[in-house]
A and B are shown apart, each in its own frame.
Chain A
Amino acid sequence: MKRVALWAVLLCLIGAGICWAEEAANQTGAVAAIQPDGQAKSLIDTGDTAWMLISIALVMLMTPGLAFFYGGMVRRKNVLGVLMQCFIVLGVITAQWILFGYSLSFAPGKGFWGGFDWLGLCGVGAAPFKEYAATIPHEAFMIFQAMFAVITPALIIGAFAERMKFSAFLIFTVLWATFVYDPVCHWIWGVGGWLKDMGVLDFAGGAVVHINAGMAALVTALVIGKRTGYANKPVSPHNLPFTVLGTALLWFGWFGFNAGSALGANGLAVHTLVVTHTSAAIAGITWAALEWIFNEKPTIFGTITGSIAGLATITPASGFVTVFAAAVIGFLASVVCYVSVAIVKPKLGYDDSLDAFGVHGVGGILGMLATGLFASKAVNPAGADGLFYGNPKQFLIQLVGVGVTVVYSFVVSYIIYKIIDVFMKVRVPERDETIGLDLTQHHENAYTILE
């Protein structure tokens, strides 16, 4: 395994070197794009670019936020394992993205992937690429999307937390990003993507990010099996304050995730931010109220779970719906996710440890469908009208988008898992699981009892 990792790093370096050499050969062209010769420069809007720089940083912070959100929920013998998985994704998927992931996802093309024109970021520079974002450097769009590619596989970690081998996790993450995230991302967002051409609306990643990760979470939770000793009841979280902190970071970062997806500092970005915040707020209150009614007391864990459900659900709709529609969507998000997490999951008995499917998968599906109901051209002329605005066809289109993503992610995630399981057991041996991932996978301990 160590040797494989070393070879992988070496190959990356060689790949980067080739591209660099090519770029040096084309230097005249590249310089023309970067040098302010008047025309190229005037396309870039400084305000838009400044907002994108902030958004990129905001979305980056979501992955460490997610690490703490998940880290607090596991037992303390596994907290470093979860933090490590989240952090290493930031490294591994960034490398994948700049080498070939961005090209597979966003290079224009009608195929399974976008294409190979932008391998190693060849031709991705300071000049804007009009079809995606006309007023910011192409490179800004690329790295903004890199943060989405990073957090999506990180979301899946919640499903198999506390029992996956680290080496198998790394391979799963890279294969999943390449064969699930990149194609689905291209179909829905890329120029030439068939779902995009069909008219599927997904403002900031309800299908690309949340359904995609949520379905992979469901599959991995089903195939890897329950945690040892899991008796259909949640394992006590070891540090809920961590989870609250993680939620705060996620909520904060989500402003970049959704409002940044407007790709400019404009009215739509502001509206998206307001809509996102509203949904999160209403969903948080709703979950607390549900607990108060059905479990006697409202809990902080429930309230933040509701907020995350509200954020995940509003994501695809955020740039297309009114503020009051967002409040309704936030309310529905908590009701539906509450049912899926507190009622359906214990009945079915699968162990989605940290509810990656129950919150993100279910929330993403609900959000995509809600977009088909509440979308309005009055909010965003670039979008479409939904069922409630007299266009039932949009709802059907959304349904197709959801169906394709659900089935594709489910099937391919299953295949990837099974292939890895043939070569190396994906799950850690029972002894390692008992001792914990921190000591057995990483040889370190999060907390000391004795100094």
Chain B
Amino acid sequence: MKLIIAIIKPDRLEAVKQELYKEDINLMTVNEVLGHGRQMGITEVYRGAKEMGNLLRKIRLEIAVNENYVEPTISAIIKGAQTGEVGDGKIFVLDLAECVRIRTEERGGVAIG
């Protein structure tokens, strides 16, 4: 089991979701986060007071999958989120030790999907 965490541009979320649905991946958690990679943030000015290097809004997706879904998930996220510009984001893949479905107390691979 793997936990896939992706940081993407907010306006790509809809496209990424559609790509994931095509691969039959329907379960995900979505967060709004602030991020700052190589892309520079935009300077903000409040009554003349400058705030430099601010963070930009990003979307963070968390998807837990069984091994056979790892590559389809990654390629679906890339398909939906890639624009070719700086700031497209990152995908992290982590090992997942356990997964429990609270309703039924099932554990492991069956609990994920």
Contacts and interface: CB of A to CB of B under 8 A. Distances in A.
Interface of A: 77, 228-229, 431, 434-435, 439-440, 443-445, 449-450
Interface in B47-80: 54-57
Given A77-B57, A449-B34, A440 B42 contact: yes
Contacts of B33: 449
A228 B9 CA distance: 14
B9 A434 contact: yes
Interface string B29-47: 0001110000000111110
Given A77-B57, A228-B11, A434-B11, A443 B43 contact: yes
A229 to B, nearest CB: 6
B11 A229 contact: yes
A445 B85 CA distance: 23
B11 to A, nearest CB: 5
B32 A444 contact: no
Nearest to B43: A443
Nearest to A448: B34
Given A229-B11, A229-B14, A439 B44 contact: yes
B42 to A, nearest CB: 5
Contacts of A439: 42, 44
17 contacts: A77-B57, A229-B11, A431-B85, A434-B9, A434-B11, A435-B42, A435-B56, A439-B42, A443-B43, A444-B44, A444-B45, A444-B46, A445-B54, A449-B32, A449-B34, A450-B34, A450-B55
Closest 3 CB pairs between A and B? A443-B45, A439-B42, A434-B11
A62 B54 CA distance: 35
Given A434-B9, A444-B46, A449-B32, 16 more contacts: A77-B57, A228-B11, A229-B11, A431-B85, A435-B42, A439-B42, A443-B42, A443-B43, A443-B45, A444-B44, A444-B45, A445-B44, A445-B54, A449-B33, A449-B57, A450-B55
A431 B88 CA distance: 12
Contacts, number: 27
Contacts of B14: 229
B12 to A, nearest CB: 9
Contacts of A228: 11
A77 B56 CA distance: 11
A439 B40 CA distance: 13
Contacts of A450: 34, 55
Interface string B75-112: 00000000001000000000000000000000000000
A228 B11 CA distance: 9
Contacts of B34: 449-450
Nearest to A443: B45
Contacts of A443: 42-45
Nearest to B14: A229
A78 B34 CA distance: 17
Contacts of B42: 435, 439-440, 443
A299 to B, nearest CB: 22
A13 B87 CA distance: 46
A229 B14 CA distance: 9
Contacts of A444: 44-46
Between B9, B42, B44, B55, the greatest number of chain A beta carbons within 10 A of the residue's beta carbon is seen for: B42
A449 B54 CA distance: 12
A229 B16 CA distance: 13
B23 to A, nearest CB: 21
A435 B11 CA distance: 9
A431 B11 CA distance: 11
B43 to A, nearest CB: 6
A294 B40 CA distance: 47
A439 B10 CA distance: 15
B18 to A, nearest CB: 11
Contacts of A434: 9, 11
Residue among A229, A431, A434 with most chain B CB within 10 A: A434
Contacts of A77: 57
Nearest to B42: A439
A326 to B, nearest CB: 43
Contacts of B45: 443-444
Nearest to B15: A229
B103 to A, nearest CB: 29
Interface in B1-29: 9, 11, 14
Counting chain B CB atoms within 10 Å of each CB, the highest count among A228, A439, A450 belongs to: A439
A439 B32 CA distance: 17
